[in-house]
Amino acid sequence: MQGEVERKEQKPIEPRILAAADLLASAVHDLKNPLSVIRGLGELGRAASDSKKDCQYFNRIIQQVDTLDHMVIDLLSAFKPQYPSRINPTDIVQDLLQSFETLFTAKSIEVQFHSSCKRCIRLYEVQLRRAIQNLFDNALKAMPHGGKLYVSIEDRSSEILITIGDTGSGIPDKVSEKIFEPYYYRRPDGTGLGLFLTHHVIVDIHHGRLWFESSEGEGTNFYIALPATERI
């Protein structure tokens, strides 16, 4: 399978990792305040400026602050300590699809969804929600002129398989081997952290598997296999 991530032994998250994640989450959270101030000053400067060139500079400042803010949100949601809860992954996916409905409609993207999963498993809900949201975001960016999004959830006894496929531009072969590394595959309007954090959530936090199949110009399928056990 192209882009498959090697399965890791299922172990609980160590206390020292949770402590480090807590420290990181606190530091990241503290970054949001100065970013808000910088953005506010940028907006004031833009509103007060009579120069078109100065307005362009202020716009660039605001855009860069927004990019940093998205990075902070990604890091905060992925590394902030959380305890697992029992939830049906179908509920998470359906809720996200509903929140994306307006965007999909605006982009002329047809969504096909199916789930055979009727049971709850132990999940880190906030992190998993963010990971799947990242994949939906990528699908949107890959289909700027419309297309189809295929989402399915299968109950395979020992694991739950979530498939997210699109008919978009596909992933270039030259980046496929390192696509889960931070900043390696970055779209012009992206942070370069989305797939890295998705990998962290699925493989490191949930001890699952994450892989993809893609053809340039034809689309991409991402596969998430979550262990249906009590060991998370």
Domain ranges of the chain: 15-79, 85-227
* Confidence band of 97 (pLDDT split at 50, 70, 90): very high
pLDDT of residue 188 exceeding 70, the answer is no
Least confident of 111-115, 126-130, 182-186, 209-213: 182-186
More confident residue, 102 or 82: 102
Considering only residues 84 and 8, tell me which one the structure prediction assigns the higher pLDDT.
84
* Statement: residue 163 has pLDDT above 90: yes
What integer best gives the mean pLDDT of the chain?
Answer: 82
pLDDT of residue 10: 38
Q: What is d(CA 4, CA 127) in angstroms, rounded to the nearest whole number?
A: 21
pLDDT band at residue 166 under the 50/70/90 scheme: very high
> Cα–Cα distances in Å, from 144 out to 109, 167, 198, 200, 210?
9, 11, 22, 27, 25
| Architecture of domain 85-227 in this structure | 2-Layer Sandwich (3.30)
Residue with tokens 């420290």: 23
SS3 labels along 63-74: HHHHHHHHHHHH
pTM value?
0.70
For 231, phi then psi, to 5°, come to: -90, -5
pLDDT band at 162 (very low <50, low <70, confident <90, very high): very high
Dist. CA 87–CA 124, nearest whole Å: 9
What mean pLDDT do residues 167-181 have?
84
Residues 47, 53, 56, CA angle at the centre, nearest 5°? 65
* Residues ≥6 apart with Cβ < 8 Å to 19: none
